[in-house]
Structure 1
Amino acid sequence: MQELKSHIQTYAIECGFDLVRITSAEEFVEDRNAALDRIAAGQMDGLSWYTESRVQRGTEPQKLLPGANSIICLGLSYLPSNYEDQPTPPWARLPDTPG
């Protein structure tokens, strides 16, 4: 199993992803409880899409994909690694105009 995990991580990096993590597809009970507590406390007010049903669905992987054993998470940085070497875009060279 470790060999497969290593192969997946190597392949994802070769495909250009910056971050690769693998976890089990078990329920995220603690995370669900924390999220539901935050909703109840009003800490998610203004995020109309962040609902109790969405939290329930998102913390029960088996309901989304029955039989899944693992979850593969991939991350991609939007900031280029050579950020400092990037030329200033033309629009950023214009003087600020009073609004």
Structure 2
Amino acid sequence: MQGRTTNYDTDLMMSIIKESAKITGREYGKNDEVNVSLRVLTDHARAATFLIGDGVIPSNEGRGYVLRKIIRRALRHGNYLDKKILSFIKSPAKLLKILKLLTLI
């Protein structure tokens, strides 16, 4: 884990957090509540990206329900960060770009 205390401090996650902060107009590291929301937004965008990549679609059952809950929670934190729903859509695209650069996918 690159000698970091949390997975959020790794280069990969920090690049996504920075992009989320840029999209939301907030600054990471200054406020604990903002930090938590940026981490949730980052982690949930990553999780939703992989679920959708595996062919999961939002539904009322099974993995689709989990995906729905992940997206809803990310949107709730996005709203806390004062951004509209469309801002969340930009994050998965950025995540895919970063992961492709790192040849993880």
Q: TM (normalized to structure 1)?
A: 0.28
More helix by share: 2
Larger CA Rg, structure 1 vs 2: 1
Bigger relative contact order, structure 1 or 2, given CA contacts below 8 A and separation 6+? 1
More strand by share: 1
Q: TM (normalized to structure 2)?
A: 0.27
